[in-house]
Amino acid sequence: MSQKKLDNLGVSAFCESMAMMAQSGIQTDEAVSLLQSSHGSSGGLLEGALAGMKTCVDEGEPLSAAMEKSGIFPDYAVKMIRAGETSGHLENILFRLSRYYAEQKTISDKLRNAVTYPAAMLALIIVVLTVMLTMVLPSFKEVYEAMSGSLAASSYRYITWAYVFCWIALGVMILLALCLVVGLILWKKGRRSAVEAVLWKIPITAKILESMGLFRFTGALGTFLASGRMQDEAVLDSIPMTDCAPVEKKLKEVAASMLDGHSISQAAYDAELFEPLYGRMLLAGERSGNLEGVLGKLTEHLEQNCTDLVDRLVAVVDPLLSGVLMVTVGLSLLSVMLPLIGMMSSIG
């Protein structure tokens, strides 16, 4: 079984295609066959799995079993489709999964861009400072030493300050770049908990992680409820989907409160799972009998909140790094120009 998983966009496209064909009255085996025919033999991950999936469904196995055997679909998608098949809500679940993974793709792209830009700025600052230390400052130093005899003992010692300032700035930038690289390596190697432990100590990144965890939870909860699950079962099944330890801790409190007889909205409100506004939305939705609709709206709000927080983080990091670059280069150039200004004044 393949260990590589289909990305969020691929899962979303697959679920949407299957949902649209199910809506048109096409049986699952025919739908998989049509997908295989449309994709052909381009050699992609999904294309390579469709042939095996077609064999499974032709033999009478359900779609969820075929997806599980292919090994390319996330466990969550397989579990949800199995629940949809059992409850008779497969079409609805497929549409929900398509929307869910499309939203996951949007947030993932935002986070990737939020990391890429600072990384590029760090690389630029390191290159500029390296050029300053290896080419620009040494050239000025040679000229001034030739004119004054001893740089340290003359008024041209400003250039020495430029060296110190550039070295300090370069050391800080290299340290930040190393932290970023190590964090990315740990993240890709499955050591996300170690990275998140650091990110939770930073207020803005902690809010992003919490908002993402809640977004995953509400998306999963709404899908489980749509598949016909009981509320307490849906909450318990949704907890692992959050992928966020602090959020999972609060959700376990919610689950325990529901075992004592409280409704899901009241338990979430008492545990302060959501902000007060969102908590009241959930209470109103359950009392009006429109819990699934409110969960859908809440998921959209949380997605937008994630996006806004990421944009806010970029808005902070962007001017900060740009400012470091301008201040470092500006002070360095000023330091090497001061002796020249002094010389011109003396001549005048």
3-state secondary structure the chain: CCCCCCCHHHHHHHHHHHHHHHHCCCCHHHHHHHHHHHHCCCCCHHHHHHHHHHHHHHCCCCHHHHHHHHCCCCHHHHHHHHHHHHHCCHHHHHHHHHHHHHHHHHHHHHHHHHHHHHHHHHHHHHHHHHHHHHHHHHHHHHHHHHHHCCCCCCHHHHHHHHHHHHHHHHHHHHHHHHHHHHHHHHHHCCCHHHHHHHHCCCHHHHHHHHHHHHHHHHHHHHHHHHCCCCHHHHHHHHHHHHCCHHHHHHHHHHHHHHHCCCCHHHHHHHCCCCCHHHHHHHHHHHHCCCHHHHHHHHHHHHHHHHHHHHHHHHHHHHHHHHHHHHHHHHHHHHHHHHHHHHHHHHHC
Supply the pLDDT for residue 1: 40
pLDDT per residue rounded down to tens, the chain (348 residues) = 445 778 888 888 888 888 888 888 888 888 888 887 776 555 577 777 888 888 888 888 888 888 888 888 888 888 888 878 877 778 888 888 888 888 878 877 877 777 787 788 888 888 888 888 888 778 777 776 666 555 444 545 667 777 788 888 888 888 988 888 888 888 777 677 777 777 778 888 888 888 888 888 888 888 778 777 788 888 888 888 787 788 888 888 888 888 888 888 888 888 888 888 888 888 888 888 888 788 888 888 888 888 888 888 777 777 887 787 788 777 777 776 766 666 566 555
The answer to whether the predicted template modeling score (pTM) of the entire model surpasses 0.85 is: no
User: What is the structure's pLDDT at 331?
Assistant: 75
pLDDT at 339: 66
